[in-house]
Structure 1
Amino acid sequence: MDRVRRRSVKSDPDSGVEDVAILVMEWLGEQGIHALLKVDPERERRQWTFAATGGPLSDPVRIDGSSVNDCIGKALVLLSEQGVEVPV
């Protein structure tokens, strides 16, 4: 991933997106998007990472978050900005 976006994105903490994280990942795969959700407990803050490339994405997406909800919520915003509207 050569061009990684690093900027502040806010997610909705009450969205409950962590409940559908696996469904989101499956849907992305069905669209031809390579996606990764990773937890790294050695990092004190922003332990979760989401990364996606390919399919209809014009640029790679990478976001770090402090929880699954934070990470996936921010990722959905960045995906939407590239025209990928994930049905949640």
Structure 2
Amino acid sequence: MGLDECLTELLVQLGNHGLVAMVKMDGERQRSRWTVLVSGNPLGEKFVRWDGDDLAAGLSRVMAQLQELLPGLLD
């Protein structure tokens, strides 16, 4: 499964759990061109945000943080 398919499946699963997720690429930036942001009712006032250049690594980091905040999220 390619990154595009994985990303699509991940976003659908997050949405199914009542979360809001955004993946942004800012071509005007020289560094930290990618932003991943997840928020929503299950997180309360908290949110998870990552900025960087390696999208795959950033998604992994965001998912690890979400698993800490919401155990069993993707079981």
Same fold (TM over 0.5): yes
Two-structure CA RMSD over aligned residues (Å): 2.1
**1:55 matched residue in structure 2:** 41
Q: Secondary structure at the match of 1:56?
A: helix
Of all paired residues, the percent bearing the same amino acid is 29
**2:26 matched residue in structure 1:** 40
**1:18 and 2:3 correspond:** yes
Calculate the TM-score normalised by the size of structure 2. 0.79
Q: Secondary structure at the match of 2:41?
A: coil
Aligned partners of 1:18 and 1:68 also within 8 Å: no
**1:82 and 2:54 correspond:** no
Unaligned runs of 5+ in 2: none
**Aligned length, in residue pairs:** 72
Structure of higher RCO (CA pairs closer than 8 Å, 6+ residues apart)? 1
Runs of 4 or more consecutive aligned structure 1 residues displaced over 4 Å after TM superposition: none
Which is strand-richer, 1 or 2? 2
Give how far 1:17 is off: 8.1
Calculate the TM-score normalised by the size of structure 1. 0.69
Unaligned runs of 5+ in 1: 1-15
Which is helix-richer, 1 or 2? 2
